[in-house]
Amino acid sequence: MNLQSKLAILADAAKYDASCASSGAAPRDSVGGRGMGSTEGLGICHSYAPDGRCISLLKVLLTNYCQYDCLYCVNRVSSNVPRARFAVQEVVRLTLDFYRRNCIEGLFLSSGIIQSPDYTMEQVVEVARVLREEHDFRGYIHLKTIPDAAPELLERAGRFADRLSINIELPTPTGLAALAPQKDGAAIARSMARMAVHIEDARQARREQDRAPARSLGAARPARRAAPPAFAAGGQSTQMIVGADATDDGTILATSARLYGLHRLRRVYYSAFSPIPDASRSLPLVAPPLLREHRLYQADWLMRFYGFAPGEIVSPAQGGMLALDVDPKLAWALAHRERFPVNVNTAPRELLLRVPGLGVGSVDRLLAARRVRRLRHADLVRLHVPLKKVLAFVEVADHRPGRALEAADLAARLAPPPAQRGLFD
């Protein structure tokens, strides 16, 4: 099989891996002709595949052969799909070639399990090692690790990758046992814990090095400190499949909150289940709405940056599911109208962050502005606050929402149902 055919199969097989972020990577560049690639600049370059997928990284599998038989996976051993496998040097060559053509900003590499978890992990790590050590590649590398692989291999992966990830696969141990019985939930947790320790150790070493005084090498030579060994500076992430079993959104968010707390994950990615050919009868016949995946990302954002607990976001009245017609923050505000209106001139930051329409940036601007005067309606306009959404929930010196908060049609006015626009609208 030629390289292009392999690429067609293995890039398509990797489209279910949800990650395009390169945030948190160690700053590197090739200024002065040293090496190739960079993790600096204002983000990563995006291009789009014919089916609309965004491509910022060369996202491929090393192989889509797999000895596991996870029911939801198109690459499971019993799946009747074309198979292919890259050699290590083929992935290296593709990465360098695409980078030189400005098509990608880095590599995302995952793999099916062949021969053994250790053998597969060795091959994945070897790609990163060759790129880093033999070609001085300084671009972004994200490696999907194998949880059953030896700890030494995971540690080695962290030396070359900017970010590591281990898929938790499903939100609950029960779901994992039912749909992926060969996957070991305890091994996944242990590997996440080990990576969290390595990442924290590396960060601590860097903090201590920054605090240590620089040793002078003489007047003619500037003082320099040796950099401590790096380990996955972009942290670790995971991905879970949504809609392959009956797990509700409240349980999914509780699992995410536990992972953020226990293992200090950088991100949890949610991937809506896609029906696959020759699927098991245990799987649903239709995919969950993509809007559900979107609402989970919004709720995840509320947990990480707005101080919401998972139990607050999902209302018991919704049967453990997020509302699809309004975003989670607005849904919470509508269900807790007694907490509003919030006085923009006196409320603490934590309460302002709960106002629908106010983001972290907007709240910081409001806090800075109210230090010099009492805020009025015109100040909200000047600060580019989305008035249509915010005014019903706040009061300022010359505005009170009055009975607007009690209106039965408030939700409909703030989040009208989407309407298809005409061609010439």
Is-cis flag, bond preceding 341, omega within 30? yes
Q: Please tell me whether residue 29 adopts helix, strand or coil conformation.
A: coil
Please list the rounded mean pLDDT of every run of 10 residues in the chain (425 residues). Answer: 89 76 60 66 46 68 92 88 94 92 85 93 96 91 90 92 91 92 91 92 83 63 66 89 92 96 91 82 85 94 94 85 92 93 96 95 95 94 92 93 84 76 67
- CA distances to 7, 121, 370 from 3, rounded to whole Å, are 6, 22, 61
Q: How many other C-beta atoms can be found within 10 angstroms of the C-beta atom of residue 274?
A: 15
Evaluate whether residue 29 is within a structural domain: no
Q: Are 161 and 146 in contact (CB under 8 A)?
A: no
Evaluate whether residue 420 is within a structural domain: no
- When computed from its CA atoms, the radius of gyration of the chain, rounded to whole angstroms, is 25
Specify the pLDDT at position 175. Answer: 92
Evaluate whether residue 319 is within a structural domain: no
Evaluate whether residue 165 is within a structural domain: yes
Q: Are 345 and 374 in contact (CB under 8 A)?
A: yes
Amino acid symbol at 286: V
Specify the pLDDT at position 284. Answer: 85
Q: How many domains does the chain have?
A: 2
Give the structural domain span for 394: 328-414
Do 280 and 168 belong together in one domain? yes
Do 254 and 383 belong together in one domain? no
- CA distances to 50, 173, 350 from 253, rounded to whole Å, are 33, 15, 20
Show which of 265, 283, 310 is a domain's final residue.
Answer: 310
Do 294 and 363 belong together in one domain? no
For residue 69, the domain's CATH number is 3.20.20.70
Amino acid symbol at 170: L
Do 338 and 295 belong together in one domain? no
Specify the pLDDT at position 44. Answer: 43
Closest among 76, 57, 259 to 144, alpha carbons compared? 57
Q: Where are the alpha helices (DSSP H) in 28-137?
A: 88-100, 117-129
Evaluate whether residue 189 is within a structural domain: yes
Specify the pLDDT at position 42. Answer: 39
**In whole angstroms, what separates CA 180 from the centre of its chain?**
23
Do 82 and 44 belong together in one domain? yes
Show which of 255, 278, 310 is a domain's final residue.
Answer: 310
Q: Which contacts of 291-298 are long-range, i.e. CB under 8 A and separated by 24 or more positions?
A: 291/324, 292/242, 292/243, 292/249, 292/321, 292/322, 292/324, 293/242, 295/249, 295/322, 295/323, 295/324, 295/327, 295/328, 296/242, 296/249, 296/252, 296/253, 296/270, 296/322, 297/270, 298/327, 298/328, 298/329
Specify the pLDDT at position 316. Answer: 76
Cα dihedral angle (383, 384, 387, 393), rounded to 10 degrees?
A: -50
Do 137 and 182 belong together in one domain? yes
Ranges of beta strands (E only) in 168-251 are 236-242
Q: Which contacts of 113-120 are long-range, i.e. CB under 8 A and separated by 24 or more positions?
A: 113/66, 113/67, 113/68, 113/146, 114/63, 114/65, 114/66, 114/67, 114/85, 115/67, 117/146, 117/147, 117/148, 117/149, 118/149, 118/150, 118/153, 120/62, 120/146, 120/149
Specify the pLDDT at position 341. Answer: 94
Contacts of 407 (CB under 8 A, 6+ apart): 413
Q: Are 314 and 320 in contact (CB under 8 A)?
A: yes
Show which of 275, 310, 345 is a domain's final residue.
Answer: 310
Do 174 and 294 belong together in one domain? yes
Specify the pLDDT at position 101. Answer: 83
Do 379 and 251 belong together in one domain? no
Do 183 and 116 belong together in one domain? yes
Evaluate whether residue 123 is within a structural domain: yes
Ranges of beta strands (E only) in 175-260 are 236-242
Do 235 and 168 belong together in one domain? yes
Evaluate whether residue 95 is within a structural domain: yes
Do 149 and 298 belong together in one domain? yes
Bin 275: left if φ > 0, else alpha if -120 < ψ < 50, else beta: beta
Evaluate whether residue 223 is within a structural domain: no
Closest among 327, 336, 337 to 359, alpha carbons compared? 327
Do 56 and 12 belong together in one domain? yes
Task: Give the angle 18-22-23 at the CA atoms, nearest 5°.
Answer: 115
